[in-house]
Amino acid sequence: MVIVDFEYNAVSKEFSPVIEIGAVKIKNYPVNDCPVILSEFQTYVYPGEGRVSKRITGLTGITMEDVRRRLKRKRRRERQREKKRKQKDLIAYSKTYNNINVDE
């Protein structure tokens, strides 16, 4: 079973972007019905325009700095991907391998 939790930045009724996603995969043991955590996932989501409200920070502990760090990591990964896309492909071929002629 997977349990997913979203934290929203309730700026207004019309604009409440997600600022955190969390998920836990659990397994119930039949002996005592106590869930066992198999894996966890957590990430911040940059809310786009606006800031994390003080009210939300008070409720969740999530700060604007938390979501900014997430945005910086995302931008860094995008730059790395773009750099890899621009790199030329390298194809290598050797006619002999361990002194064995491949053409024979």
The structural domains of the chain, with segments of one domain joined by +, span 2-86
> Consecutive 10-residue runs of the chain (104 residues): their mean pLDDT?
86 78 83 81 81 86 86 82 70 53 50
Which helix (H) or strand (E) covers residue 18, if one does? Answer: strand 18-28
The domain defined by 2-86 folds into: Nucleotidyltransferase; domain 5 (3.30.420)
Phi, psi at 86, each rounded to 5°: -80, -20
Question: Which pLDDT score, from 0 to 100, does residue 103 have?
Answer: 52
Question: Which pLDDT score, from 0 to 100, does residue 85 have?
Answer: 74
pTM over 0.95: no
Alpha helix locations (H) across the chain? 54-60, 64-86
Contact 19, 56 (CB under 8 A): yes
**Residue 27 DSSP label:** E
